[in-house]
Each structure stands twice: as structure tokens, then as C-alpha cells.
Structure 1
Amino acid sequence: MSIALDIAHETTTRPVTGAKVPLIGLPKTGVTAALRDFGLNEKEARMRASQLWNWIYVNGTTEFSAMTNIAKGFRTELEQAFSLDRPEIVTEQVSNDGTRKWLFRFRDPAQPNMPPVDVETVYIPEADRGTLCVSSQVGCTLTCTFCHTGTQKLVRNLTAGEILSQVLMARERLGDFPGGTRPDDGGLVPGGDNRAVTNIVMMGMGEPLYNYENVKQALLIAQAGDAISLSRRRITLSTSGVVPYIEPTGREIAVQLAISLHAVRDDLRNELVPINKKWNLESLLEACRTYPGLNNARRITFEYVMLKGINDSDADARELVRLLAKIPAKINLIPFNPWPGSNYECSDWERIERFADIVNRAGYASPVRTPRGRDIAAACGQLKSESERLSKKQRDALEVAETID
């Protein structure tokens, strides 16, 4: 199903003097500064910034014309200078288990001559929550051998606005904003007064800590009480082990941390998660032990994909327990989700249960993650957009432009 959103703006009478400034993703201080540059004094700029912030994040507004507590003439002037643009929905798929996957298309207003880029975002409904899996990059540089996303070359980082726009678009499609309606899907999306999107996980396409500043800004806005207002405990950032940014993540963003571990020996992890050659298990686990705010109520989640005959032995389970000693942790065991061309198989269910039993008896919670959205390639490790079809020349141009910026 292909869907295009109508986000056209009304015609204004004031001539455009340059590219519009995107407001989504700017901190409130940044919105205030942009309004000062637009000619407002400090007091009015702060007041208008608060109004815009509320319309964008609380009400989900995409048109300046709908901002009824702002004078009509000034709304027209704002529309001329600023944008509230969100991505186009290229496709929206719904799994038989209620999982939703969107392919979003972004156009960079700062680089109008560059081709658009596509990313995938996944929504997973459960009885007590709705989790949105958000992407941070177009493609990925990590080449983890069991991950489909890792077969797609990195095109570029997403901006803070593009990261947040995935959240805003999902909330709109799921009826989370005032006046919205839940999809008619037989009750798969949480109903009543509950939010549809209660949790965010940075586990989509890309390595979040290779796009740290944009991810940080997006997640700080997601936490802000006068914006999306999600608790830090309901936001999880997953990294494959970019060790230098783990401590700043805890100190500056203060979200839940998840580590894509997947192996208990450096030689195997070097193969499965090649970033291990740069930051090995010892350095990664030391960064976890000293993660700011770590305690039994704020445990680190270690993600462990179960690969038949590769990392699923009893010895692997016992070594995992030894490695994580004295780290408040939860271990998510992830049945491998197959994808075309993969050389791996999922561990047998009996082997997964035996592995989980060893970990459980050592005192660690080790839930086995139920695969969701496999029928629409929305499960863990299956995300991959069509942006890889950009030519090498186009990708190089994007990288050069990003470096210049």
C-alpha cells in the first residue's frame, strides 16, 4: 500500500528570501534563536517558540494555518520562513501480528538537488505498550554479518528532525495526537486513553552512536515534558559498542542502554560484530560497568542473537554469565530472523531454552524475544531500505556535502 501525505502550504504574500528553516528537531532555544533572527524581540521569540513547540509536538500540527492562537497574518509570515515538513510515506505494511512497518522518504531542504533517502521504521504493539523502533542512519557502516541492514552501505546520517519525524509520523498514523483515531485493526493497537507509542527504541537502521549529536538532540526533545514527554526509562538506545560514546550517553541523554553483544569471545565477535576489532569485549564491558546511573532498577540490556552451532552452546551461556558478573543486566535472547542470502540459521528451540535456563539459573532475566513482523521483513535485523540503489557517485556527493556542513 503506497500512501503520500498532502503537506502543501498555503500561498503567502511575502517573498521567500532563502531556504525555509526546518523547526522539527530544533531545541526550544534553537527555535527561539531562529525567531529572533526572523526579527522578534527576545520576549516575543520565547513566547512564540513555546506556542510552536506545543503545536508541533503536543498537537502534531503540520500546517501553520492550523495554529489558532497565532494571528493569521503572522502565521502566513511564519510559513514563508519556516517549515514543518515531515517525510513522505512510500509504503505502510501491517503484519498479521499487528506489527507495522513504514518506509519513509526524506528530502534534505539544505540539499535540494540531492536525491531523497529512504528509511524504515517499525511499530510493535503489545498488550501493555507500543514500541517504536526508530532509525538513526540511512544504511549502516558496521557490516554485522547476521544483520540484513549491515549489507546496505551507509548513505548518510539522519538529522535530529528526521529522527523525530519518524516518531511524529507514527503517532499521527496511530491516532496518538488530539482528535486522532486508532487504526481499525481489531484492537492490535492499544486503545482507550493509552498512548499508542509508549516506548522508543533506537534499534532501527544504523548505529546511533555514530550519529551521536543528532540522536542526542532528538531524544532530549522526546523526553521533554512540554514536547513528546516520554520517560527516560521508556527510551532505549542500542549500540554495537562505540565505547567512547557510552559514558556520554548515560550522562547527557540518560536513557536505557542496550548492547548488541552476540558473542562471548573476541575472535567470534570480531566476525559477527566487526566493530569489536576496534573496541573489544574487555573495553566494552568496562564501559558498561561504569555507565552513569547504572543500578538494579536501571539495568543494561544485552542483546544476543541465537545462531545455530555458532554461539549457542552451554559453554557460551556459562561464559556469558561470567562476563556479565557484577553488571546489573538483562539478557534478551533473539531467535535469528532469516533474510535472503544469509549464511546463518536460527538455533533450535530446545537449544534456546537450554541456553536461557543456564542464564536464568545464574540470576539473570533472559526473556526470549518473540519474533514480530517476520512476514513483512520487520523483525530484528531485517530492516533495509531502497536507498542503496543510489549510485556510488550520489553517495559520495552526499558524504562530501555532509562533511562540508
Structure 2
Amino acid sequence: MKGFLPEKQPSKTYSISNNSLDLLTNIANDLPKLLLTGQLQKQINHLKKNDFEINELLINKKPADINLAMRHLSFIAHGYIWGDVEPHKVLPTVIAKPWVQIANELGRPPILSYASYCLDNWYKINSDQEISLENVALINNFLGGVDEDWFVTIHVVIEDRASNAVDAAGQIKDLDSEATEGEIKQELKNISKSMREVNKIFARMPEKCDPYVYYHRVRPFIFGSKDNPDLKSGLVYEGEFKNKAQFFRGETGAQSSIIPTLDAALMLKHSNDSLRHYLNEMREYMPPKHNQYIKDIESKSTLLNLISDSKVLQSSYDECLEEIRIFRSMHLEYAGTYIHQQSQLKNPFGRGGSTITGTGGTPFMKYLKKHRDESQEGKYSKD
């Protein structure tokens, strides 16, 4: 696997046209204007139950169309839930039915996840040039603007830069006792070099994403219904799940497959606690193909045995963990700057959500510190 971004750019339009899909596209694309003017909920509430009917997509089963519908429905649904002063606790059938249908087709929960928010939500401005922060833009967003776009495109470019590390993880999975020191060292070098590029991109987050704007304008739309004090009773999908409230995690970077893949290849273990259970739960929100890739590496990697007698390889291994530690340290720093510090300020715009839990519904500061520390503890050299 060459990274987790789709091989082709995500679609902006469906391969077929009908009234339902045209309406779905128009509302998704107009979302910033509808949220700004307070018209989204009114428009959705005036629709008939089957106005977003997607049966033709489910029959054709074209992956690009299926992913596009999931993105459209996820953005519209979250705009509907979080676009008013108080969250809407019941999703009307017109959104709930097709959202559940398309989510089932993809093998993911009906909630906005990292896959729809980031992996399937970008295009290159100049198609003949590589993915970069100067050449990637978002297709769909909530309120829009520099800060929201920059926050997501940073993650798109990170996914691109991590592709060599992801590929190397797959190669490590297939190495056995006959592998030479040079072969093993090369794959470890590919991981550390790739993650070094990731960290360069991640370090640019503050350039165009202001913490205050992120907390009050970007973050509120990506929360879920699980462990969320604003939706204590869950979210009802009208006509689905026997009308029983559901609890799903919100969009979070923990749903990216990069770090779990590298943890698996490097055999970096997390202690058996709530953090580990949470990370395993996040896999349910990943595209099943990505989840399976991680599982395959976990079950087959014997890297620690292969490097047990080589100081050279242990040094290369430590270089990989150091880049992962740097990544997790930056993540921890941003959590403090973009969330914890902002929670102490007055909020004239709207709610930024819980100050203790992240968008995925977890005590993020505690977890991120533990991520970082375990990356350091896994090194052969503790210096």
C-alpha cells in the first residue's frame, strides 16, 4: 500500500445525475453559506423523506460515488447537528436513511470520520504537480476560511508525506531471518526519513490556523455523540436503529492509520489500559482496507527479533521512534495551544466543545502524553 490517500483525487461530482444527487451536491457545496445565514436546518426540515435517495449509487457500487455521498451526507449531517446554538439530537429521515445506507456499504459508522473529513476531501490545484500545501485545497467544508482549510490540508499533506513510511511498514512485515542487515536498515531509514518530512509539515500548522478560530469555528462541527456532554442521550437517526439513540465517536486524528501502522511494524506496544482500548476502537472508523493493513502488519512483524543482535539496526530503529516521539510531542503541544488554552478564554462565537475531552470523546492531554512517553520508552537508547 502506498499511503492511505486514494490513488485518484476524490470526486467533486457523481458519475450519474439525478434530482436527489444534484440536491445533495448543491446543499453540501453551499454549506458555508447556509450555516452562516442559519438556513441549513430550515432547508433540511422542508425536504421530503426521500429527497436524498441514493439507491442508484448502491446498485452501481462505484467507489468514487460511494465515498462522495458519504462525504456529502457527513458534512450536511454535522452541519445540521451542530449548526445552531444548541445541538439537534434527532436527524430527520431524509439524512439518516441514506447516511446509514452508505455507511453500511463502506463498513463504517454513520458519523463524520477522518476518512471523509480529510482522506476523501481534497484536490490538487495544478493536477500535474505534486501534493503540497501550496497545491492542495479542500472540496467541502463547514464555515470555510483559511483556518479550517489549513487545518485539514495540513493533514492531507501529512498523509502524502507518510506514504513511504506506510509502504516500508508493509515491507517490514514480510522480512524474515534471511533478510540482510542492509535490507532491514533501508526500510527503517525509509520510515525515519518519511516521518521527518511529516514533522516538517506538521510544524507549519500555526502558520495559517489560528488557535482561537480553530477552537470556536472549526472544532465544534466535528464532534460525535459518544462521551459528549452536549449529546448525553446520544443521537437519534429517525427511522433507523429502531429509533434508539446511537453513540459514535467524533472525527479525530486518532482515526488516521499512519501511527497505528508504524506502531505495528515497529512492534511498539501500548500498555493494556483505556488508551489502548480507545485506539483499537478508532479502527472501526477507518476504511476497512486500512484497518486490515494494520492487522496484517501486527500479526506478521518480527522486527524486534530481527534487530536484537545488531547495534546498527537498533540505532536505526531508535531514529524511527524519535521521529514518532517528535510527532506526538507536537500533537501534545498543539492540544495545549489549540484547545486547553482556548478553553480559558471567553467565547463570543459559539461553543468549542468540552475542554477536557477531544473531538473523539477522550481525555486527550492524558492520552497524548502517554503516546509520547511510550515512544521514548521503546527505544534501545534512552538518552
The higher relative CO (CA closer than 8 Å, separation ≥ 6) is in 2
Of Structure 1 and Structure 2, which has the larger fraction of its residues in helix?
2
Higher fraction of strand = 1
